[in-house]
Amino acid sequence: MNQYIEETKKGLVHTYNRFPVVLERGEGVYLYDTEGKRYLDFAAGIAVCGLGYGNQELNRTLKEQIDALTHTSNLYYNTTCGKAAGALKRITGMDRVFFTNSGTEAIEGALKAARKYAWKKGTGRYEFIAMEDSFHGRSIGAVSVTGSEAYRTPFEPMLPGVRFAKFNDLESVKAQITDRTCAIILEPLQGEGGIHPASQEFMEGIREICDKEGILMICDEIQCGMGRTGSMFAWQAYGTKPDIMAMAKAIGSGIPVGAFAMTEETAEYSLEPGDHGTTYGGNPLACAAVAKTVEIFEREDIVSHVRKAGAYLTEKLDALTAKSDVIEERRGIGLIQGLKVRKPVGEFINKALEKGLLIISAKDNVIRLVPPLIIEEKHIDEMMNILESIMK
Ligand SMILES: *Cc1c(COP(=O)(O)O)cnc(C)c1O
């Protein structure tokens, strides 16, 4: 184990403070380290492994695709890209998809698509309104719209033309609107920012403002999307369809892939040949992963399962919150839940790890629970037992 840790520490730029665990394999909702220790996984590789580990149907598809072809570039067509795009169109209700390799790139593309839209319409608009405590990724464009100063300050100057508003505060958004505003970007449920769901009123208000002012609405569904809230995408539960949306994390079940998608009306005035591109994006392997992931989600009705499991988890967490002095509040929807705690959150994460439970933190001293979406009640009970024992 130490050999892997030393080797990694020596070789990498020191950007991550990792836990001293070397994960080797996974099965269902459990992970195993090189020492053979088993962990119940309520992290899912940061909300990525929705189908858990070792899904044989998915693995077979990936193996077959590796044997056939993994990369083509976008100079040519391939056999899985169209299928994956069709699958995402079906579950998002969007009309046009662009594949990226990560969430950050999906955001970057969404921002470019919005700028191009304003440019082609000749509106002279270029400003973005983003939310405080948001997280949209780590490229200069994505950090420019991320509402966390620690992520921005060392890399200034940021992209010009970004204004921040308070999440769930429509007046604060209205105060940032100018005749230069081209898009409003938000997560329907803020993940990194501390598990804050948008209010119905806020989502409807944003949609209304955008319609009235000719502004595009961009939803970042990278963490809260793909079934996690008990809707395929979080915005769907509010009935507020964005013009552009970004996806990643769970859409490829662990194969690195992201996408942004837009309505036909937006696409008509947006990116054209030569405007945007990527070498890997939409490669046959990534698209095989997306197409199969969507197929399994639909056939197994993962979204209904999340609603049931999410309700069970919510009930258990609420009961614990009611009797705990340490937990201030439970927040979240479905299988993306946060517990705001009164002691440093790191203590709990470490204690859980010792006891074989993987949980993560979010901003604002929050324990974040984002298990594989296939989690069952017995796993939730197992997690609750550990959580209760470390909350004492
Ligand atoms: C993880 C995340 C991103 C960035 O995705 P990467 O794949 O890490 O680049 C962007 N937005 C949200 C809401 C995320 O949770």
Would you list the domain boundaries of the chain? 2-54+301-390, 57-300
- Please state the atom number of ligand 1 nearest to the C-alpha of residue 192: 15
Structural class in CATH, domain 2-54+301-390 = alpha beta
Cα gap 167→164, rounded to integer Å:
9
On whether the CB atoms of residues 362 and 353 are closer than 8 A, the answer is no
Handedness of CA 336, 339, 340, 345 (dihedral sign): negative
Cis peptide before 154 (omega within 30 of 0): no
Cα gap 30→75, rounded to integer Å:
40
How far, rounded to the nearest angstrom, does the alpha carbon of residue 100 sit from its chain's CA centroid? 14
On whether the CB atoms of residues 127 and 92 are closer than 8 A, the answer is no
Which numeric CATH code is attached to 57-300? 3.40.640.10
CB of 248 within 6 A of ligand 1: the answer is yes
Cα gap 144→4, rounded to integer Å:
35
| Residue 223 in tokens | 């963490």
Q: Please tell me the pTM assigned to this model.
A: 0.98
- Please state the atom number of ligand 1 nearest to the C-alpha of residue 134: 13
| Protein residue with least CA distance to atom 8, ligand 1 | 103
| pLDDT for res 392 | 78
Among 190, 218, 222, 260, say which to mutate for ligand 1: greatest number of ligand atoms within 8 Å of CB: 222
For tokens 């403070």, name the residue.
17
Per DSSP, the residues of 208-232 read HHHHHHT-EEEEE-TTTTTTTTSSS
The tens place of each residue's pLDDT in the chain, 392 residues long, gives: 999 999 999 999 999 999 999 999 999 999 999 999 999 999 999 999 999 999 999 999 999 999 999 999 999 999 999 999 999 999 999 999 999 999 999 999 999 999 999 999 999 999 999 999 999 999 999 999 999 999 999 999 999 999 999 999 999 999 999 999 999 999 999 999 999 999 999 999 999 999 999 999 999 999 999 999 999 999 999 999 999 999 999 999 999 999 999 999 999 999 999 999 999 999 999 999 999 999 999 999 999 999 999 999 999 999 999 999 999 999 999 999 999 999 999 999 999 999 999 999 999 899 999 999 999 999 999 999 999 999 97
| pLDDT for res 364 | 87
What one-letter code names the amino acid at 166? K
